[in-house]
Amino acid sequence: MLVRALLIVGLAAAASSGAFAQAAPAAVPSCDPPGTMELQVTLRPQKTGMWCWAASGQMVMEYLGKSVEQCIQANHRLHRSDCCNSPTPDECVSGGWPEFERYGFQFKRTNGTPLTWNQLRSQLAAKKAGEPCSFTPFAFSWRWIGNGGHMMVATGYTTTPDGKNYVHVNDPWEPNIGATRTILYEVYDQLPGDHTHWDDFYDIR
């Protein structure tokens, strides 16, 4: 106890004599997203009825500089080697989640919840010097009421003069067609009788 008391006294004396300099906390930069943003993300339709997850992964990774074909993702996820065959084997036509980590990316994932509107804007806003805006698309998913789900890619957002918030989306459905859509933020979140929110994959680096 004596040693501990002497140590505390010594630290207090050192602090009072200026031996420990205390730097002021650095200001944490904040993201200041513009009112409207849309990233140029190439639409990649899903190549089977179940590969929305692979198409979404392909779109995001391609935007970040690494394109991974959907059939390659299916091969890896399903531990197969024939998913790039034509026609696609039935055993390859399966749902799943993108495996960003397999291809060298880090990411965060929600659990049954959407990003807030502010989080969504910060994800998609263009980087400015000293600001932590992400400037990256992200993959989000819906769980259908009843069974199954669907994954898409958020590519931008808009707030209209009347205060409505919209999300720009690359939708890989239908197979080999796909679509670009603009949906209300509330629909991105959920739509009673149609879907609830599943998982989002964001902060992908």
Average pLDDT (170-179) is: 99
Query: What's the confidence (pLDDT) of residue 131?
Result: 52
Query: What's the confidence (pLDDT) of residue 15?
Result: 39
Interacting residues of 107 by C-beta distance below 8 A, sequence separation 6+: 100, 101, 201, 202, 203, 204, 205
**8-12, 73-77, 175-179: lowest mean pLDDT where?**
8-12
Query: What's the confidence (pLDDT) of residue 4?
Result: 37
Query: What's the confidence (pLDDT) of residue 33?
Result: 75
Query: What's the confidence (pLDDT) of residue 121?
Result: 93
Domains, in order of start, for the chain: 34-202 (3.90.70.10)
Average pLDDT (56-71) is: 98
Give yes or no for residue 32 having a pLDDT over 90. Answer: no
Give yes or no for residue 1 having a pLDDT over 70. Answer: no
- Tokens 């959907």 -> residue: 70
Euclidean distance between the first and the last CA atom of the chain, given in angstroms as a whole number = 50
Query: What's the confidence (pLDDT) of residue 192?
Result: 98
Give yes or no for residue 8 having a pLDDT over 90. Answer: no
**3-17, 37-51, 130-144: lowest mean pLDDT where?**
3-17
Query: What's the confidence (pLDDT) of residue 36?
Result: 87
Give yes or no for residue 56 having a pLDDT over 60. Answer: yes
- The residue among 173 and 133 whose pLDDT is bigger is 173
Query: What's the confidence (pLDDT) of residue 28?
Result: 42
**23-27, 59-63, 196-200, 201-205: lowest mean pLDDT where?**
23-27
CA distances from 111 to 105, 141, 143, 200, 202 (A): 19, 11, 12, 7, 12
What is residue 129's DSSP assignment?
T
